Amino acid sequence: MKRNGILNSHISKVLSDLGHTDMIAIGDAGLPVPEGVLKIDVALKLGTPSFREVVELIADDMVVERVIVAEETREGNPVALQFITEKFGKDAIDASVSHEQFKALTRQVKAVIRTGEATPYANCILQSGVHFG
């Protein structure tokens, strides 16, 4: 049994397999998952676990160089955008895509991690970086 880090074996495997520029998505309970994309469902009930909890755990285990959020997040969920900005830094955030473009981008991710979050636009795509040079 692991001593530290993420215990969910599916998430742990996906993170271990990521290469530079690979992406994963973390979404609220309503984010659609494209056919053929791995869905890792950690939702237990509405609100549990929260988007924030899952992002914080993933960020502890993953080198993130870029975070994509839908531009509608600015108005639709400023709390989530503020959290993401504080967590990853303003320079890492790309909020230039529409929600429809965001959903289309999820076809390119290695996995979508579905949370129990029940607020709108609590979604992000994390692009993997490297921890050297």
Encoded amino acid at 91, one letter: D
Q: Note whether 8 and 80 are within 8 A (CB).
A: no
Is 4 a known ligand-binding residue?
no
Is 121 a known ligand-binding residue?
yes
Is 131 a known ligand-binding residue?
no
Instruction: Identify whether 20 is a catalytic site residue.
Output: yes
Alpha-carbon gap, residue 56 to 35, rounded angstroms: 27
Alpha-carbon gap, residue 22 to 35, rounded angstroms: 18
First to last CA, the chain: 32
Annotated active-site residue in 13, 17, 20, 41: 20
Q: Which residues are catalytic?
A: 20
Binding residues: 28, 99, 121-123
Binding residues for substrate: 28, 99, 121-123
